[in-house]
Structure 1
Amino acid sequence: MMPERAVAAEGKNALSVRAGIIESVWRPGSLVDVEDARDAMLAVERISGGTRMPMLSEMTDVEITAAARYEFARTTGVLAIAVLGSNAVDRVIAAAMSRHTHYPHAFFTSRSAALIWLTDVANLEPRGQ
């Protein structure tokens, strides 16, 4: 049985699954380094049971090192990621993260718009993937 909640990156990241979407919330003001990124991706694997799922990643006012951005981009454990932020800096960080991803990746300032997009992406995915 998959856990309903997980904590990663020394408490900087809290994860849960709701309606088939992984919700990842980073503590505002956090600095995310490569070890934090690796730990967060391991937590995604644990909480998803190894099944690729869409993810909503709330990263408002979070600083992410270049190495961590690269680590996030390498993941194969997600179906798509919607990054939820609140300002132009968050948007720039999300754009930098999307450069090397092999899955759909988009930035939103609206939680409801992000969830709609993730649901649409998940519905387009062939079953059994």
Structure 2
Amino acid sequence: MMPGQIAAADGKNVLSISAGIIYSVWLPGSVVDVHYAKDAMRAVEQISGGIPMPMLSEMTEVEISAAARYEFAQTAGVLAIAVLGSSTVDRVIAAAMSRHTRYPHEFFTSRDNAVAWLNRFIPGGSGQPEGFEDGISALT
């Protein structure tokens, strides 16, 4: 794992690792296309050293193309992802992103709740949470 931060997507995304969780923060108002999604996933691979980890992705007021959502869903670089947002639009985008994921995916409006959920996926922790939702709960 690399210390510090990595910028991706022409500076629209900043990644860091803390306590076994990858933090991905997108600049509010960003428009994410497939090129930016691929660049962000390369940055995840770089900062994690290729070791899949849980990720908190802060995507408040971020527009994501369908191709970018599909690209994010195909990554093998995360064990689980908690999407942190603040609006109904953020919640709907998070639900759309979860359609093709191969890993647990949840939407949160509380950073503390998101981190608590992700802590269950840290290797050596309590293991995967029972009854995790696949993102559909983001619509309720």
TM-score over 0.5 for the pair: yes
What TM-score, normalized to structure 1?
A: 0.94
Q: Which ranges of structure 1 fall in alignment gaps of 5 or more residues?
A: none
* Residue identity opposite 1:33 in structure 2: D
* Residue identity opposite 1:83 in structure 2: V
Query: How far apart are the structure 2 equivalents of 1:92 and 1:17?
Result: 26
- Deviation string 1:13-64 (CA, Å, 9 cap, x unpaired) is 0000011100000000000000000000000000000000000000000000
Asked if 1:32 is matched to 2:32, the reply is yes
Asked if 1:69 is matched to 2:63, the reply is no
- Helix, strand or coil at the partner of 1:121: coil
Aligned to 1:56: 56
* Residue identity opposite 2:115 in structure 1: L
* Residue identity opposite 1:106 in structure 2: E
Runs (4+) of structure 1 exceeding 6 A deviation are: none
Q: Which ranges of structure 2 fall in alignment gaps of 5 or more residues?
A: 129-140
Query: How far apart are the structure 1 equivalents of 2:76 and 2:16?
Result: 18
- Deviation string 1:1-22 (CA, Å, 9 cap, x unpaired) is 6242100000000000011100
- Deviation string 1:60-116 (CA, Å, 9 cap, x unpaired) is 000000000000000001010000000100000000000000000000000000000
Pairs aligned (count)? 125
* Residue identity opposite 1:86 in structure 2: S
- Helix, strand or coil at the partner of 2:16: strand
Q: CA deviation at 1:121?
A: 2.8
Query: How far apart are the structure 1 equivalents of 2:73 and 2:119?
Result: 21
